[in-house]
A and B are shown apart, each in its own frame.
Chain A
Amino acid sequence: GDSVTQMEGPVTLSEEAFLTINCTYTATGYPSLFWYVQYPGEGLQLLLKATKADDKGSNKGFEATYRKETTSFHLEKGSVQVSDSAVYFCALPQGGAQKLVFGQGTRLTINP
């Protein structure tokens, strides 16, 4: 079945460092791809999405490009802030109805 694999965490960086969180997927066809973020004590919220190959999703300084050649959707940010500390989930829909399959999550900690 469809699946998502994320890089192992946790990831710890200093403020203003460059961030990459890897995500690869296995799917039939070319599904939409999503990054969700879960801040401490809060529910998951959509960070960004891409609906077709070569699309770039972006939000809050984060970007991810849908690469069908490498079946990847890596999350990047040029200069992270302490407030970016959270758990990040890569996801894709399985079947219809926005039923999402999530990766295992990557915990990011940014130190000042």
Chain B
Amino acid sequence: DTGVSQDPRHKITKRGQNVTFRCDPISEHNRLYWYRQTLGQGPEFLTYFQNEAQLEKSRLLSDRFSAERPKGSFSTLEIQRTEQGDSAMYLCASSLDRGYNSPLHFGNGTRLTVT
């Protein structure tokens, strides 16, 4: 169990640029989640996948955001035309599909700063 891995750890970009983050879940986990965390707040749900299917998207996920999990393994989160309000920590988590007896395992996050 190598844990959930996120890349990069930090990303600084200029407003209007596109950015892409990657998440590698724990290998046998079929569920993958993306959350966003701003300073002083708890994580907010963005979207989740069961295998390669994206099953739910939050209203927080504007049309500038897109997430994929093409082979049911790693996932990418892309933000197009970044805005300063997108500055946050983006967290990825994974779990088995066993209800609440299977906890979420979080990565260390990607911190995005939009200047």
Asked, given contacts A42-B108, A99-B48, whether A32 binds B42 with beta carbons under 8 Å apart, the answer is: no
Contact A99 B33 (CB under 8 A): yes
Are the CB atoms of B31 and A44 closer together than 8 Å? Answer: no
Write out the residue numbers on chain B whose beta carbons fall within 8 Å of the beta carbon of A91. 42
Bound CA–CA A51/B102 (angstroms): 12
Q: Is the CB of A105 within 8 A of B104?
A: no
Q: Which of A32, A41, A98 contacts B31 (CB 8 A)?
A: A98
Check A43 against B41 for contact (C-beta < 8 Å).
Answer: no
Smallest Cβ-Cβ distance to B49: which chain A residue? A97
B45 to A101, Cβ gap below 8 A? yes
Chain B residues, CB < 8 A from A89: 42-43
Closest partner residue, chain B, to A101 (CB atom): B45
Cβ-defined contact, B41 with A105, below 8 A: yes
Interface residue tally for chain B (C-beta within 8 Å): 27
- The verdict on A74 contacting chain B, using a C-beta distance below 8 Å, is no
A89 to B109, CA, bound (A): 16
Per-position 1/0 for A19-32, Cβ under 8 A of B: 00000000000001
A55 to chain B, nearest CB (A): 12
| A residues near B43, Cβ cutoff 8 Å | 44, 89, 100, 102
Query: Which A residues are within 8 Å of any B CB, using their own CB?
Result: 4, 32, 34, 36, 41-46, 49, 51, 89, 91, 93-95, 97-105
The 8 closest A-B pairs by CB, nearest first: A102-B42, A43-B106, A46-B103, A44-B106, A32-B100, A43-B108, A102-B43, A104-B42
Point out residues on B near A: beta carbons under 8 Å: 3-4, 31, 33, 40-45, 48, 50, 55-56, 91, 93, 95, 99-100, 102-109
